[in-house]
Structure 1
Amino acid sequence: MVPPVSPAHATARRAQLFDELVTLFLDEGFAHLTLDQIASRLHCSKSTLYTLAGSKDDLVREVTVHFFRSATTEVEAAVARATGTTGRLTAYLTAVGAALAPAHEQFMEDLAGFPPARDLYERNTRAAADRVHELISEGVAVGDVRDVHAAFVADVAASVMVRIQQRAIKAAVGLEDSQAYLELAQLLTEGIGR
């Protein structure tokens, strides 16, 4: 008789599969992959994939959620280690760029072309712009940075972040998303610095 799988083991295996799916999708994109191909790459059965999501579209959405949730944790950890407003803002935007750095061009194109995943990216971009606003407002309140109109600066940042997300920066100037976030961090911190 086979012993039952413990809930902790099942949860760990699920997390491992999602991590492997994120790596696969970041490396190759996802639009061209079938569930059979994904199962083969992960050395699991299709039925195992169906325990994660009911269809390929649902799986892509769940993997995208997992990716952004993990990235948010890493980004906020970087902010927590930083000091001062410009340090925290730089840490935030640099960490966002670092989270996107492993994403192959195909992944970014597939993300932009698949509405549920694109919507998640857009929501995360809006949340990132809100976080930039919060960091700048905190810095202005304590006198750590110039007394700038935090909402305006955050709106400018949001506009650039949306253009990054929509691949417009890549098309216009050739910067990958991760590199564009680094440039944005430098621009903002120098603009609000004393």
Structure 2
Amino acid sequence: MPSPRRTARQRDLLERLVALLAAEGFASFTLDELTERLRCSKTTLYQLAGSKQELVREAVKHYFREATQAIEQQVADASAPSERVVVYLNAVAEQLKPLSRRFLDDMAAFEPAREVYEANTRIAAGRIRQLVTEGVAAGAFRDVHAAFVGEVVAATMQEIQRGEIATRTGLTDSEAYAELASLIVHALSP
């Protein structure tokens, strides 16, 4: 879905909002605190979305829309099938680095934001499935059930997002994605 047309000022405000929420989470912020931190009026914030809940959802959507574009650009620059899978998962890890644990926890607890994350996780699973299918067709990967691989990746991504992998392994989200990339590529090698 394309992003709404915004003025340069609104795009700047949305970028600053995303950076603030990504660093500090959003559950504890009031609109008054947001306007103070962003140095804008409530009216200006309401031009982005009609309520705090919608504002958070819009910020999360914007973050993932921008992240997806950055990820796909990196994948487009890779040619070998195994490289494309590694690049994809490492790019996802890189895009998640700015997201604080508080933000991820807030997102998991807030249904509208969680829905955006889960939709993006489903898209990521589909993208992995596509990359694996292409790799199998090119003979770079052994013949595997690509949809299953995509679902395993999606399930792991969800556990990473919820902090379960970090709790059980001590890995950061970024490190977990790097390990996932290595695991998938080595498991698929002919």
TM-score by length of 2: 0.93
Q: Does 1:36 align with 2:32?
A: yes
Per-residue deviation, 1:193: 2.0
| C-alpha distance after superposition, 1:26-46 (max 9, x if no partner) | 111111111111111111111
Aligned match of 1:172 = 168
SS in structure 2 of the partner of residue 30 of structure 1: coil
Paired positions, count:
186
Kept after mapping to 1: 8 A contact 2:105/2:162: no
Tell me which of 130, 136, 157 is aligned to 1:140: 136
SS in structure 1 of the partner of residue 130 of structure 2: helix
Runs of 4+ aligned residues of structure 1 deviating over 4 Å after TM superposition are: none
Q: Please give the alpha-carbon distance, in whole angstroms, between the structure 2 residues aligned to 1:25 and 1:107.
A: 7
**Runs of at least 5 residues in structure 1 that lack an aligned partner in the other structure:** 1-7
Q: Tell me how large the CA RMSD over aligned residues is.
A: 1.4
* Alignment-mate amino acid for residue 39 of structure 1: T
Task: After TM superposition, list the pairs within 5 Å mapping 1:73-92 onto structure 2.
Answer: 73-92=69-88
Per-residue deviation, 1:143: 1.2
Kept after mapping to 2: 8 A contact 1:122/1:165: no
Q: Please give the alpha-carbon distance, in whole angstroms, between the structure 1 residues aligned to 2:151 and 2:110.
A: 26
Q: Which has the larger radius of gyration?
A: 1
Aligned match of 2:187 = 191
Q: Does 1:72 align with 2:105?
A: no
| C-alpha distance after superposition, 1:52-91 (max 9, x if no partner) | 1111011000000000000000010110011111100011
Aligned match of 2:156 = 160
* Alignment-mate amino acid for residue 9 of structure 2: R
Aligned match of 1:99 = 95
**Runs of at least 5 residues in structure 2 that lack an aligned partner in the other structure:** none
Q: Does 1:182 align with 2:178?
A: yes
Aligned match of 2:50 = 54
* Alignment-mate amino acid for residue 83 of structure 1: S
SS in structure 2 of the partner of residue 52 of structure 1: coil
SS in structure 2 of the partner of residue 154 of structure 1: helix
Q: Please give the alpha-carbon distance, in whole angstroms, between the structure 1 residues aligned to 2:150 and 2:81.
A: 14
Most deviating of 162-171 and 90-99: 162-171
Aligned match of 2:18 = 22
TM-score by length of 1: 0.91
Q: Does 1:109 align with 2:120?
A: no
Over the matched positions of the two proteins, sequence identity in percent amounts to 49
Q: Please give the alpha-carbon distance, in whole angstroms, between the structure 2 residues aligned to 1:129 and 1:115.
A: 20
SS in structure 2 of the partner of residue 148 of structure 1: coil
SS in structure 1 of the partner of residue 142 of structure 2: coil
